[in-house]
Chains A and B, each alone.
Chain A
Amino acid sequence: MKRRDFLLATGTVGLVLWFPLEGSLQAQESERTAARPGYPKDFNAYLRIGPDGRVTCLVGKVELGQGAMTALAMLLAEELDVALERVDMVMGDTDLCPWDVGTFGSLSIWQFGPVLRGAAAEARAVLLQMAGERWSVSAERLQVKDGVISVIGDPKRQVSYGQLVQGRQIERHLEKVTVKPVSAFRLVGKSVARKDAQEKVTGRAKYAADTGLPGTLHACVLRPPIHGAKLQRVDTGAAERIPGVRIVREGDLLAALHERPDLATQARRVIKADFSHPEAGPDDTSIFDHLLKTAPPAQLVYEAGDLRAGARQATRTLEATYLNSYVAHAPIETHSAVAQFVDGKATVWASTQAPFIVRTEVARALGLPTQKVRVITPYVGGGFGGKSSGPQAVEAARLARAAGVPVQVVWDRAEEFFHDTFRPAAVVKLRAGLSASGRITFWDGQVVGAGEREAKPFYAIPHQRTTSAGSWQGGNPPGMHPFGIGPWRAPSANTNGFARESHIDALATLAGRDPLAFRLENLSDPRMTRVLNQVAERFRWAAKPAPSGRGVGLACAVYRGTYVAAMAEVAVDKATGQVQVKRVVMAQDMGVVVNPDGALQQMEGCITMGLGSALSEEVRFKGGDVLEKNFDTYGIPRFSWLPKIETILIDNPDVPAQGGGEPAITVMGALLANAIHDAIGVRLFQLPMTPERVKAALAHG
């Protein structure tokens, strides 16, 4: 099957469309290949060829479910011309793998992909050169098929990579090797079986808590009841009377250890402890005022034209404030780690998105040089940005050193909620003006809490200004957030997307225009126009100004070079405020697509996860306590919530491969807000749009 001429239909009615190549891609790719930012230059760091011809691919990325194991193996197999089945992946082991910043920000393919391809292309060229010297023929007369080099037209002269290398390290290097052109891909762009499938369906896949080192003790760490509380007095007598329990105290860390996890939990439960009572901070209702009061000074994100001139051109202006709550990552696998301390060296198996960051954290906590710490990352049971560092790994390492045995730390669900680094609550104030002909004349945006990514609108607006105060990336004054915050799938952009696309829709209503037509009239970016048109065609969008009573809506977004547009149909029960999403159609243009089925999976995942952050997920807190303790109150999406999902992937060979794990979630808030508005005629300005908020909005008209 040729790459260009297949349509891929998946179980969810997925569709891949191809568009022609125009040649700009090659230049962009080689620019990034040359850069290799922070990555080792020697290709041996990324790959080893065994005597049997199997290729081991070493990467600092980890497999969180997003399919990096498969996609990266495909890139290597493609450039090296070996079969995908002959590639073995070693991921996230800091002793074996080249340094990596971590697995987030949709960077695995977009940023690291060219690095890996460059390394593999160089290795292939070196191998060809070596073979050519053997037979005194030039490399141009050689071909490679599944790791076997032969002379074109003389198939008797052939040698496999394995025979050529003989298990040694390749010493030779070449400058300026070019990677394959997209048109020569035979594997990239095809949907293949995931490399982690067999292990995951049989229960053999190992996660950090499955490490099973002999002699491991499970540790339950004593936790403060509320954020900021300090331990004052503790009585561990009752816990110590449980046979097999050890109480270990290491600085501010106190834990009950037992060979059996449940007995360690039991022991922790009977520890009597008094904690200080810090002054109560904001709660989940006062938080928005609190953010506005405590935020650092606003920074300019983008400015063009002159807001006052834009205001003069406007015949109507619209101002609104959009809010979203803290949301949790809530991966089904909680933070887990096992640590062992032998001969002055710590080895830690950790569920983390960033093994090299965890290595630094553990080294610092133990006062060791980083070479004395090895972090191994088995499969990770979901991350979504929430496992970007390794506090549980630090706990396990400290306790392992203190106890002199391997120690395992697996947070329970309440610990996972309490210590999560939430998506920050945020306030976005938007003001925009319309000309008599329905053009947006100015846009004035103030983001507080969320951060600046995608805060600047991508519409063609002559006069605009966007500022941002405070961010998930830090730089917030102490006390601004009552607990930890951090990246959550498409950080900043999921908040800013909600505000922007809600406001655009409201402007369309003000203009009396169909929301699709209004967007197209105010856009000048052809990639965005294309994804919008693709979605509209599939959805069979019928133009009508909102609210139309039909319950249909749309939203679009750009995130790190990937374009997404979606349309949805919802039903709202006005008596209960309950929203049921009936159908979502989504199109995504992410440049060259490495593994189409993997990309579709990520889109489906974003749509499903986005139902939660849009409709139900909200971290409630009061007096320093996180009130969410488990999944009974914190409602994540379930099977009954599922809409009919239709996904369209636009393969765009003009643009290098971009990330696909996050962009689609950034449309979900506004998509549903707009569809709800279309259904009931009132707009919701706060996420999540819970039944109570829907009813309250209806009551206020």
Chain B
Amino acid sequence: MIKPIPFRLNGKRVSLTTDDGRMLLWALRSDLALTGTKFGCGEALCGACTVLLDGEAVRACSVPLKAVAGKQVTTIEGLAKNGRLHALQQAFLDHHAFQCGFCTPGMILSAYALLLKKPRPTRDQIRQHLEGNLCRCGSHVRILDAIEAVASRKGGAA
């Protein structure tokens, strides 16, 4: 059904008037021109489109806009504050936790959601949490290293 869908995107109020059965991924990438969120599979099977919805990691390709109305959405574009990288972004950069970088926004946001809930996860918990995020380049070891480095820091990720 076409109707206005108001929500908060990276802290700012937005409203889209469109079919509320459409998936969030396309609203972000096309209607709102935020292309940091990636398309990899379209069926919640790869994690490339991961964003935060009220603090939970969700697959934007499979979340209809009606489920977004009135909520908070965080994408990769909303992570750095005042030009300062978030600790996770810095850690991915320091550890070279990417190659082609296509899975990277989804990886960082999955990790971000985990750390919000559990600031000091073990390496195994990080692994389990990221099981649904695919990386074809094989950056897995460094991704774990990067997240673990942030998680083991004093005071956690915040």
Contact = CB atoms under 8 A, between A and B. Distances in A.
A2 B34 CA distance: 44
Contacts of B29: 209, 261
B97 to A, nearest CB: 8
B122 to A, nearest CB: 13
Contacts of A636: 134, 136
A194 interface: yes
A630 interface: yes
Contact of A638 (B34, B35, B98, B134): B134
A326 interface: no
Nearest to A598: B96
B141 A203 contact: no
Contacts of B58: none
Interface residues of B, number: 58
A697 B157 CA distance: 48
Contacts of A200: 92, 98, 101, 104
A202 B130 CA distance: 19
B140 A332 contact: no
Contacts of B93: 193, 197-198, 201
Interface string A314-351: 00000000000000001111100000000000000000
A201 B36 contact: no
Given A201-B92, A202-B80, A259-B30, A380 B36 contact: no
B68 interface: no
A193 B93 CA distance: 8
Contacts of A637: 138, 140
A379 to B, nearest CB: 7
A212 B31 CA distance: 11
A609 interface: yes
Contacts of A380: 100
A430 B26 CA distance: 52
Contacts of A193: 93, 96
Contacts of B137: 65, 382, 605, 609
A384 interface: yes
Given A194-B96, A605-B99, A630 B41 contact: yes
A589 interface: no
Interface string B7-37: 0000000000000001101100111011111
A279 interface: no
A12 B38 contact: no
B141 A65 contact: no
A197 B139 CA distance: 14
Given A11-B95, A639-B131, A632 B136 contact: no
Interface in A577-617: 597, 601, 604-609
B100 A379 contact: yes
B80 A413 contact: no
A332 B100 contact: yes
Interface in A451-480: none
A202 B134 contact: no
Where chain B touches its partner, the secondary structure class is: loop
Contact of A606 (B25, B45, B103, B138): B138
A689 B133 CA distance: 23
B39 A67 contact: no
A642 B140 contact: yes
B46 A642 contact: no
A333 B100 CA distance: 9
B38 to A, nearest CB: 7
A645 B145 CA distance: 12
B100 A381 contact: yes
B35 A210 contact: yes
Contacts of B31: 260
Contacts of A382: 99-100, 102, 136-137
B42 interface: yes
Interface in B106-136: 108, 127-128, 130-131, 133-136
Contacts of A293: none
A410 interface: yes
A412 B42 CA distance: 8
Nearest to B145: A11
A413 B141 contact: no
B154 to A, nearest CB: 20
B67 to A, nearest CB: 15
Interface of B: 22-23, 25-26, 29-31, 33-43, 45-46, 48, 75-77, 79-80, 85, 89-90, 92-93, 95-96, 98-105, 108, 127-128, 130-131, 133-142, 144-145
Given A201-B90, A203-B37, 19 more contacts: A64-B100, A194-B96, A196-B101, A197-B93, A202-B79, A202-B89, A203-B36, A205-B101, A210-B35, A263-B22, A331-B102, A332-B136, A380-B100, A381-B101, A604-B138, A605-B99, A631-B45, A632-B43, A637-B138
26 contacts: A12-B141, A65-B98, A65-B102, A67-B99, A201-B98, A202-B36, A202-B77, A202-B89, A203-B35, A203-B77, A207-B35, A207-B38, A209-B29, A212-B35, A333-B100, A381-B100, A601-B99, A605-B99, A607-B138, A609-B136, A631-B46, A639-B127, A639-B133, A639-B140, A639-B144, A640-B128
